[in-house]
Each structure stands twice: as C-alpha cells, then as structure tokens.
Amino acid sequence: MSAYNALCSSTSSIDLNNLSPIQVFIRIKPNNSNDQYEIIPFKYSSNTAILTLPNSPPLSFDNVFPPQSTQYDIFESIIPLLHLPLYG
C-alpha cells in the first residue's frame, strides 16, 4: 500500500487505547566532516533511544530514525498518526 493510500484509508489498524498522548521521535543526522559541532555519541535500538548528555538527565524517544533514513521512511512511519487528531 502506498503512503498516500494509507493516509486516505481507515485508521482501524491503529489501537487508540495503547497510544500515549504525545510521542517523541528523533532523526539522527548523518555525520558530516564539515560540521562545526561536537558529535554526541548515544545508543539506540530500532524503536527506542535514550540520549545522555553530560550533566543532564537522560532523554528518551518513542521512535528513532537512523542516519540512513529517508523522508519517505519517516512519512511511512508517521502516516498512521496523521489521523489521530481527528479522533480526539
């Protein structure tokens, strides 16, 4: 099913009772030798990430998009969520 068709289809495959009110996603930027910023290492698995910065509490994310993710990959992942505001 294409992303467009999925957007237009029913949300019957989404379990609204098991979703948290707010989900936090992160896209990891690919390393670039021209960047002037410090690269902060952190660990992540396929669907979760915890980022720990010096002198800060850990930050957690509901979904992680690795550096090789495309815009299409991200769109495919969030498309089911686009209907949710309509259902309160």
- List pLDDT tens digits, range 39-78: 666 666 666 777 777 777 888 888 888 888 899 999 888 8
Mean of pLDDT values over 7-22: 55
pLDDT value for 70: 92
Model confidence, pTM: 0.57
What is the structure's pLDDT at 72?
93
- Partners of 21 in the β-ladder: none
From CA 67, how far away is CA 28, in angstroms rounded? 5
Domain boundaries, the chain: 40-88
pLDDT of residue 12: 46
Do residues 58 and 50 touch, judged by C-beta distance below 8 A?
A: yes
Task: Specify the higher pLDDT residue, 28 or 2.
Answer: 28
